[in-house]
Structure 1
Amino acid sequence: MNKQTLVIKLGGALIESDEALTALFATLKTFLDEQHRPLVLVHGGGCLVDDLLKGLGLTSTKKHGLRVTPFDQIPFVAGALAGTANKQMMAKAIACGIPAVGLCLADGGLCQVVQLDPELGAVGDCSPGNPALVHGILSQQFLPVISSIGITADGQLMNVNADQAATAIAETLDADLVMLSDVSGILDGKGKLLPQLDKATAQDLMEKGVITDGMAVKVKAALHAAETLGQPVCVASWRYPDQLLKLLGGAAIGTQVTL
């Protein structure tokens, strides 16, 4: 049995649907009970950030699929992601019988974060860090639930794209990586699911404008992870718990991103 740690990135509108969250965590409970494999969850929560900023009368824009985060907005973004989103995920895990620990990228030095681009504001670039804390948590049979908020070496809060964060965490832990979102995988120009996607095809689809914005960020992160981890990275949907259980068991679901 493969006991290698599995990192699952959760994204999309999942956190807005109590029914979908319940189904997902029930599936993860089954997986943990049957496989006894170390599992780490990494999440964003863009929908919660959008709702909070809108409620505060603040506008939010994206550039190349990344949220522009003015420094005066980072406290609100951090509150939505490391606070509300993280604790909602933990609450659902606990309700499904999974003991969970909520973390951010800075806890235990899990990931190193620096500012990505001054034009994006408090948006971080994430690289692998220290696995010791997460290994310790996993050894005690807890599920780490990690938000994509980072902190720089000089103490500045940073908003990190969750796909990039999950990639860095998988590298830190030398783990397998699965990215789950609203969509069934990566689609070609005709809207058809691509069972496999290599670097050359991905570059071609991005140049043609087929893969854009947030999906382009996801694909680049997956390609980077496939290269550094030396194995394919799966991009699939959280919408079908029965398929998810097959995926976690090793079946080919969604899109396998390879070199």
Structure 2
Amino acid sequence: MKPLIVKVGGAFIGDAQAAKALLDVLAELQKSRPVLLVHGGGPIVEEWMVALNLKTVKIDGLRVTSAEQMPYIVGALAGTANKQLVAQAIASGLNPVGLALTDGGMVKCTPMDAKYGAVGSVEPANATLLKLLLSQDFLPVVSSIGADLSGQLLNINADQAATVMAQLLQGELILLSDVAGVLDADKQLLSELNAGQIQQLIEAGVIRDGMTVKVEAALSAARDIGVPVTIASWKQPESLLRLAGNQSAGTRIYPD
């Protein structure tokens, strides 16, 4: 069965009860298929920035990462956030391995425009390490810190990192947030959407604000990996158990 790539954000990591509930579900899913976890950590980074009196600047939704800030962002994402998730996974009976995009030649990272600072884009490279870990029932827990071929550390968007993991492993991607999925005008969950339907709902104002960003990221990912991508909630992890029976959870976003 295809590996399941699950992406979670930093808000999830800070909610110990929610993390335990989701990781318990992933432990159950891992009995029938390989599972890989990719995480961001924006709220944790923000806490560090405030504590260190460092200014946060964003351009096009991306965190501008200066040379001064990079050591702290690496520490927050590849250190605190990653090891917190690893520890939580251990408590759920999983056998996690904390990784970053720097490890095992799994991806190729390149710097983006200099205006973003040490922010990079990423593409799939070598799946050997991940396939080995998954074959032995480990849970890879991957932070979105990468490095280019010159050894420069780069901050990578976590949604993009998760998409590349799905490309690399030809797996199924789930983007988890704090919403159950995409809702219609009557606040009912839509089980699936394609690009045309998404555009209509955005134009009608049904999909708006943060959900627009999530849906467009999922649609972009679905096009990149050529298979549907699911938007679901880490607040309702039990819904993911339906995936074990090839049923849908949340909203499936189709690439066309």
Rounded Cα–Cα distance in structure 1 between residues aligned with 2:184 and 2:114: 33
RMSD, aligned α-carbons: 2.2
Rounded Cα–Cα distance in structure 1 between residues aligned with 2:182 and 2:236: 16
Seen in structure 2, the aligned counterparts of structure 1 residues 72 and 197 have a Cα distance that, compared at 3 Å, is farther
Asked if 1:143 corresponds to 2:144, the answer is: no
Among 20, 30, 33, which residue is 1:32 paired with?
30
Rounded Cα–Cα distance in structure 2 between residues aligned with 1:212 and 1:241: 24
**Aligned 8 A contact 2:95 2:138 in 1:** yes
Q: Name the counterpart of 2:42.
A: 46
Quick one: percent identity of the two aligned structures? 47
Rounded Cα–Cα distance in structure 1 between residues aligned with 2:66 and 2:203: 29
Q: Name the counterpart of 1:245.
A: 241
Rounded Cα–Cα distance in structure 1 between residues aligned with 2:160 and 2:69: 21
Seen in structure 2, the aligned counterparts of structure 1 residues 125 and 202 have a Cα distance that, compared at 3 Å, is farther
Among 77, 84, 96, which residue is 2:92 paired with?
96
Q: Name the counterpart of 2:17.
A: 19
Among 217, 220, 229, which residue is 1:221 paired with?
217
Rounded Cα–Cα distance in structure 2 between residues aligned with 1:54 and 1:191: 36
TM-score, normalised relative to structure 2: 0.90
Q: Name the counterpart of 1:111.
A: 107
Q: Name the counterpart of 1:6.
A: 4
- Count of paired positions: 254
**Aligned 8 A contact 1:163 1:217 in 2:** no
Shift of 1:197: 2.7
Shift of 1:88: 0.6
Letter aligned with residue 123 of structure 2: S
Rounded Cα–Cα distance in structure 1 between residues aligned with 2:202 and 2:104: 36
Letter aligned with residue 92 of structure 1: Q
**Aligned 8 A contact 1:12 1:182 in 2:** no
Letter aligned with residue 90 of structure 2: I
Rounded Cα–Cα distance in structure 2 between residues aligned with 1:116 and 1:192: 39
TM-score, normalised relative to structure 1: 0.89
Letter aligned with residue 200 of structure 1: G
**Aligned 8 A contact 1:11 1:182 in 2:** no
Shift of 1:136: 1.1
Asked if 1:130 corresponds to 2:129, the answer is: no
Shift of 1:50: 0.6
Letter aligned with residue 18 of structure 1: A
Q: Name the counterpart of 1:59.
A: 55
Rounded Cα–Cα distance in structure 2 between residues aligned with 1:123 and 1:217: 19
**Aligned 8 A contact 2:10 2:81 in 1:** no
Rounded Cα–Cα distance in structure 1 between residues aligned with 2:39 and 2:23: 14
The 10-residue stretch of structure 1 (143-152 or 225-234) with the greater mean CA deviation from structure 2: 225-234
Seen in structure 2, the aligned counterparts of structure 1 residues 135 and 219 have a Cα distance that, compared at 3 Å, is same
3-state secondary structure, aligned to 1:79? helix
Q: Name the counterpart of 2:116.
A: 120
Shift of 1:29: 1.4
The 10-residue stretch of structure 1 (225-234 or 133-142) with the greater mean CA deviation from structure 2: 225-234
Rounded Cα–Cα distance in structure 2 between residues aligned with 1:204 and 1:8: 28
**Aligned 8 A contact 2:174 2:230 in 1:** yes
